[in-house]
Amino acid sequence: MSISKGRSSRRKRSSESDFEDWLHVEFAARDAFTALILLVKITEPKITPLASTFLNVLGDDVTWPQMAALLAGSGHAWDGAAFIPVDGPLPNPEARSQLRALEARVREDRLVLNEGQLFDLWGRRLMVEKVPTQ
């Protein structure tokens, strides 16, 4: 696997991070929703899942520094956080079930992370790319 970075430094920023841009767009499109979150360690070309959680998104006023501080409470040294939006807000048992299914899919294929948005420690958008075999 390989990681590519998102935002061009020449593009005008509407907020402080790609995460905040994504959150505004996602919330505008869906209203309240549940986000499945996977924390990963990135040591190219490898991506290792570390921890997961979910949260119900009820507004779009969260900044990347606030979210990163929340995720720091996981106790893991993570390099990336994938946010996969699902309908909702979901009841906790249903969200847990969807999270477990997502974890299983990611264990099989890291490209599944691209079904949502993957952000680095600074809230910049990343993308998982398949590395060609030689």
- Number of domains into which the chain is organized: 1
- Residues comprising the chain, all counted: 134
Instruction: Confirm whether 39 is domain-assigned.
Output: yes
- Over residues 109-134, the pLDDT tens digits come to 999 999 999 999 999 999 999 877 76
Instruction: Confirm whether 67 is domain-assigned.
Output: yes
Q: Which domain does 41 fall in, by range?
A: 2-6+15-128
At residue 14 the predicted structure's pLDDT band, cuts being 50, 70 and 90, is low
Instruction: Confirm whether 84 is domain-assigned.
Output: yes
- Per-residue pLDDT at 98: 97
DSSP 122: T
E-strand ranges in the chain read: 2-5, 33-43, 46-57, 80-86, 117-120, 125-129
Give the sign of the dihedral formed by CA 73, CA 47, CA 44, CA 23: negative
Looking at the predicted structure, is the pLDDT value of residue 5 above 70? no
